Amino acid sequence: MKATNRREFLKKAALGSAAAVSAGWLWFNGQLLWNGFFIPASKALGYSGYAHASRGKEAMFFHKNANRSVNCLLCPHACRLNEGQTGICRVRTNRNGTLFSMVYGKPCSVNVGPIEKAPIYHFYPGHERLCVATVGCNLRCKYCHNWQISQSRPGQVREYDMPPEQIVGEALRQNLKSISFTYTEPTVFYEYIYDISKMAREQGLKTSIVSNGYINPQPLRKLLKHLDAVKIDLKAFNDDFYREIASARLNPVKQTLEVLRDEGAFFEIVNLVVPGLNDDPGEIKKMCVWIRENLGAETPIHFSRFSPTYKLTNLSPTPVSTLDKAIEIAKDAGLKYVYIGNVPGHRNNSTFCPGCKQRLVHRMHFSVLEQKIKNGNCAACGLAIPGIWET
């Protein structure tokens, strides 16, 4: 088959949107948009950047001080910013004594993808979601796969003008079931996802966030009133890892998980297993016991395979045997829904009934091949399976 170059692709894509969406492109207002990854502003055709003073929306959750400094109350970093300063997230700025979000309505990535890629396995398996991200993150993970956008500032990569109503309209036009805030950290574009989520629910759309969990309880509780599902990265179960690898702390993430439990939110946990850094069996056992005792045995957890990237290219990919051992530890600790990620074809990509052991959702990496869950119950034995399912 003859290869198609970019010019030929764009010419063909003008005839229809299906091929464009599957290739990471998206039709919007008669324009063909790419997902935004890795396009420097200086190389984006017709792009002039958005660093001008008119950019921004007044932020939620901050305190004004008498000296025109502000305290950001959104995440545990608690940045105190003098006029003109920007927080650790790179996207929240003190302008004339008021905190502004500089990424409201300015996504750098808008595309369509499967919910399994989040991964969220107990949330309408197999459905397609509209994925939305802006630049910025409040962590500094040394193995971030999306560092080109998560560690960028507004104006450093290509962004699109898409206010909340246009995001919701695009999801409806594409006949998608949900909108997912992902790729970078949703916390840092809080106001944007808050407004989108409220509108989405009014239109019958579901929403989810793929988050590092580094958010304060008050804004989290407010946001949860308009969210349907949450995926939290529990990066390790020791504070040294968080401080050295992510420039953060463990306890605030644990607190976030406890708030999710208290609010009755549906959530799943992902632990990316990094060789030599957080793969100690004793630490994994301690984490699994904590999850069972504090969050519940039915909390889904995914052990994902690490691939060398960004500042940790010196490490090797996680051996599958290490992930298999983590699965064994988690099940021995009493957790009922344990998965392996980033290993296509692995048996533990699928969902099994903890009662009769029947395979309920057969997955091959990001694809769902078969489902046997009826009205939230195992079709074989009738056991209730936690999650958000078709009825």
Nearest alpha-carbon partner for 199 in 121, 105, 124: 105
3-state helix vs strand vs coil in the chain, percent to 5: 30, 25, 50
Q: What is the pLDDT of residues 113-124, one digit of tens each?
A: 999 999 999 999
Q: Is the pLDDT of residue 335 over 50?
A: yes
What is the token pair recorded at 220? 């989290």
Average pLDDT over residues 160-181: 97
- In three state form, how does the secondary structure of 95-137 look? ECCEEEECCCCCCCEEEEEEHHHCCCCCECCCCEEEEEECCCC
Amino acid making up residue 267 = F
Which pLDDT score, from 0 to 100, does residue 55 have? 75
Residue 35 pLDDT > 80, yes or no? no
Asked if pLDDT for residue 334 goes beyond 70, the answer is yes
| Calpha distance 52→216 (Å, rounded) | 30
- Parent domain of 295: 109-378
Question: In the prediction, which pLDDT does 108 show?
Answer: 97
Does a structural domain hold residue 387? no
Q: Averaged over 71-88, what is the pLDDT?
A: 97
**pLDDT at 341 exceeding the cut of 90:** yes
337 assigned to some structural domain: yes
* Residue 31 pLDDT > 60: no
Q: What is the mean pLDDT of residues 68-94?
A: 97
CA terminus-to-terminus distance, the chain: 43
Does residue 266 lie within any of the structural domains?
yes
Q: Indicate if the pLDDT at residue 355 is higher than 60.
A: yes
pLDDT at 148 over 70: yes
What is the CATH number for 337?
3.20.20.70
pLDDT at site 267: 98
Q: Which residue has the higher pLDDT, 15 or 377?
A: 377
Residue 301's pLDDT is what?
Answer: 98
Please tell me the predicted confidence (pLDDT) of residue 87.
97
If one compares 391 and 5, the residue with the highest pLDDT of the two is: 391
Contact residues for 214 (Cβ-Cβ < 8 A; gap 6+)? 75, 76, 77, 138, 139, 185, 187, 248, 252, 253, 256
Judge whether residue 50 has pLDDT over 50. no
Mean local confidence (pLDDT), 307-320:
97
- Would you say 384 and 377 are in contact if contact means Cβ atoms under 8 Å apart? yes
Token pair in block for residue 63: 């305190």
Q: What is the distance between the alpha carbons of residues 355 and 373, in angstroms, rounded to a whole number?
A: 13
Burial 306-331 (b: 16+ CB within 10 A, else e): beeeeebeebeebeeebbbbbbebbe
- Classify residue 89: in a domain, yes or no: no
Q: Please check whether residue 215 lies inside any domain of the structure.
A: yes
What pLDDT shows up at residue 7?
41
Measured between alpha carbons, how far is residue 189 from residues 107, 125, 219, 230, 289 in Å? 9, 26, 12, 16, 33
pLDDT exceeds 70 at position 372: yes
- In this predicted structure, what is the pLDDT of residue 9? 34
How large is the average pLDDT for residues 62-76? Answer: 97
The pTM is what?
Answer: 0.88
Looking at the domain assignment, is residue 366 inside a domain? Answer: yes
Q: What is the pLDDT of residue 391?
A: 80
- The span from the CA of 357 to the CA of 364, in Å, is 18
- Which residue did the predictor score with more confidence, 259 or 10? 259
pLDDT per position as a tens digit, 186-224: 999 999 999 999 999 999 999 999 999 999 999 999 999
Q: Say yes or no to pLDDT of 340 above 70.
A: yes
Is residue 357 left, alpha or beta, with left meaning phi > 0 and alpha meaning psi from -120 to 50? left
Q: Is 204 left (phi over 0), alpha (psi -120 to 50) or beta?
A: left
Residues 272, 222 contacting (CB under 8 angstroms): no
Is pLDDT larger for residue 47 or for residue 256? Answer: 256
Residue-wise pLDDT for 294-310, tens only, equals 999 999 999 999 999 99
Nearest CA to 348 out of 358, 360, 335, 338 is that of 338
pLDDT at 69 over 80: yes
Is the predicted pLDDT of residue 140 greater than 60, yes or no?
yes
- pLDDT greater than 50 at residue 170: yes
Task: Let me know if residue 83 belongs to a domain.
Answer: no
Q: How many CB atoms lie within 10 A of CB 357?
A: 11
What total of structural domains would you count in the chain? 1
- Using CA atoms, how far apart are residues 10 and 102, in angstroms rounded to an integer? 31
Mean pLDDT rounded to a whole number for the chain:
89
Which residue shows structure tokens 């420097």?
40
Q: Of all residues in the chain, what percent carry a pLDDT higher than 70?
A: 86
Residue 329 pLDDT? 98
- Please determine, for residue 251, whether its predicted confidence score (pLDDT) is greater than 50: yes
* Strand intervals (E) in 142-228: 178-181, 206-211
Rounded Cα distance, 34 and 20, in Å: 9
Q: What is the pLDDT of residue 52?
A: 39
| Residue 140 domain-assigned (yes or no) | yes
Q: Do you find a cis peptide bond into 119, omega within 30 degrees of 0?
A: yes
Residue 173 pLDDT greater than 90, yes or no: yes
Cα angle 77, 79, 82; round to 5: 170
34 vs 61, which has greater pLDDT?
A: 61
